Amino acid sequence: MAIKKIVTLGNPLLRQRSTPVEVFDASLKELCRDLIDTMYFYRGVGIAGVQVGELKRIFIIEIEKITDGPMIFINPVIEKFSRDFFRMQEGCLSLPGFHYDTRRPRSVAVSFYDTDGQKHALSAADYFATAIQHEYDHLEGRVFLDTLTVSEFKKAGKKLAEAGMVYDLDFPARKNKPKKEKA
């Protein structure tokens, strides 16, 4: 059991794309155990490898009454997004104490591998789908603030500043600027 230090907003690792896992061995299983222990320690519902400094395409999610214990997603691919949306408060271990209302596709279909290299697929909706998209974003070098519109971002930016956090709006690896509202 190893509790890892969480990489927080402002660390350039959070803006890097994680690399695929190629070897499914004992060290991978140990990393997954460490991720689970760290997620439990910090009381998260999800954690990605990059959040402990491991740029590997791995994340863990455990949601009471939805998942049967921690679910390990290795080399996940979101195959399909729904066209309707779901709003909820998101938080992140990498933005400690900060929560904000986000809007994401209501459901997703995702394929992934387990620690033995076996492929799986599932569909998820609402809270579970949001958690999958949130953790998947970490693998792509994004944080949940990247999903906000310009006006939402301005409000969130004020809350971030109050919490002593700085958002890297112009970071070179940023995939997308805050979305403009539709007219």
Q: Which residues have a catalytic role annotated?
A: 135
Q: Are 39 and 47 a contacting pair, CB within 8 Å?
A: yes
